[in-house]
Amino acid sequence: MNEMSFEERLLERVGASMTYPATPQLRGRVVSAIASPTPRRVGSEMRRPLVLGLAAAAAIVVAVVLGVPASRTAVAKFFHIQGSKIERLPTARPGETPTPFPTPVGLLYDTRRVDLADAERIVRFRPLLPSDSGQPDTTYILSYGDEPIVVLHYDRFDLWESRAVGFFGKGVPGDQIIDRLTIRGRDAMFIREGNHIVQYFNASGTPVEGSARTVDRSTMVWNDGTTFFRLETDLPEADAVKILESLR
């Protein structure tokens, strides 16, 4: 039996319980999720927190976007960088209005603030730093199950670095621009600004509970052959390229 794609796994998870559009119910559930007690807030001192969605609302985001009736052929393109799989989400048929993404909220995911030395010990490799940006404002460890990932927070961007065996699955709307480019001779992808969904999948291809979230900034994904990098930023593409090219 062929292995299901990222989109098919997400469709399977939400298809049984969600139907399009059901907008009033979704809106109420989002408001309820926001109003209910939330997990421990981490990193409130950050000048710009990582845009990590509330777990309850993030699961609804997936259902909202993938609730549009569509077949497997609705996926126009598939992109793969080692450590990330990107697929086009189905789009609404003529006359249908897709339910909007919820507004991303601040950092409400279970993270640990650490220094660079601790980060290196935990992930078992030395995180690379952009030579033009200096030391990060803050360093975090996110643990997706048993797989720790380091996130370097700067004023204008967040740099994720990983050698974990899992991957980030991304669901990108059909009209959102994805640029193919090359950095140091290796493929990279730049998802231009606009909401898209990201979720972490472990080594067996199983989505990690609570990892689905909305990203509202541009995202560059790249693997240098050893380490996978995700750069979330509001900077132009050319500046994002320069940041990754300067990693030392």
Asked if 115 contacts 133 with a C-beta cutoff of 8 angstroms, the reply is: no
Confidence of residue 90 (pLDDT cuts 50, 70, 90): confident
Number of domains observed in the structure of the chain: 1
Confidence grade of residue 24 (pLDDT, cut at 50, 70, 90): very low
Q: Is the peptide bond before 21 cis (omega within 30 degrees of 0)?
A: yes
Backbone angles phi, psi at 174, to 5 degrees: -65, -25
Return mean pLDDT, the chain: 74
**Which letter, b or e, does each residue of 2-36 get, where b requires 16 or more Cβ atoms within 10 Å of its Cβ?**
eeebbbebbbebbeeebebbeeeebeebbeebeee
pLDDT at position 126 is 97
pLDDT at 156 over 80: yes
Segments of the chain assigned E as strands: 78-81, 84-88, 111-114, 138-144, 147-153, 157-162, 167-172, 178-183, 186-191, 196-201, 213-215, 218-223, 228-233
Band of residue 21 on the pLDDT scale cut at 50, 70, 90? very low
Q: Check residue 8 and give its pLDDT.
A: 55
pLDDT at 14 over 60: no
Q: What is the pLDDT of residue 4?
A: 56
Distance CA 179, CA 42 (A): 33
Q: Is position 1 within any domain?
A: no
pLDDT at 5: 52
Q: Enter the DSSP assignment of 247.
A: B
Q: What pLDDT does residue 158 have?
A: 95
| Mean pLDDT of the region 102-118 | 69
Residue 105 lies in a domain: yes
Residue 17 falls within a domain, yes or no?
yes
Is residue 226 domain-resident?
A: yes
Measured between alpha carbons, how far is 159 from 134 in angstroms, rounded to an integer?
A: 13
**Domain enclosing residue 160, as ranges:** 6-245
Q: Across residues 61-85, what is the average pLDDT?
A: 51
Contact 127, 150 (CB under 8 A): yes
Confidence of residue 61 (pLDDT cuts 50, 70, 90): very low
3-state secondary structure string, 164-232? CCCEEEEEECCCCCEEEEEECCEEEEEECCCCEEEEEECCCCCECCCCCEEECCEEEEEECCCCEEEEE
Per-residue model confidence (pLDDT) at position 208: 87
184 found inside a domain: yes
Helices (H) and strands (E) in the chain, counts: 5, 13
Report if residue 112 sits inside a domain. Answer: yes
pLDDT at residue 119 is higher than 50 = yes
Residue 213, C-beta contacts closer than 8 angstroms, at least 6 positions apart: 51, 52, 53, 58, 61, 104, 109, 197, 198, 199
Please give the Cα distance from 50 to 247 (Å, whole number): 20
Using 50, 70 and 90 to split pLDDT, how confident is the model at 93?
confident
What is the separation of C-alpha 182 from the centre of its chain, rounded to a whole number of angstroms? 21
- 8 A C-beta contact, residue 161 and residue 152: yes
pLDDT of residue 197: 86
| Tens digits of residue pLDDT in 206-224 | 988 878 888 889 999 999 9
- Is the predicted pLDDT of residue 138 greater than 70, yes or no? yes
The answer to whether residue 49 is domain-embedded is yes
Angle between helices 55-66 and 6-15 (to 10 degrees): 100
Residue 231 in any domain: the answer is yes
pLDDT digits (tens, 9 = 90+) for 194-206: 888 888 999 888 9
Q: What are phi and psi of 17, to 5 degrees?
A: -120, -10
pLDDT, residue 189, reads 95
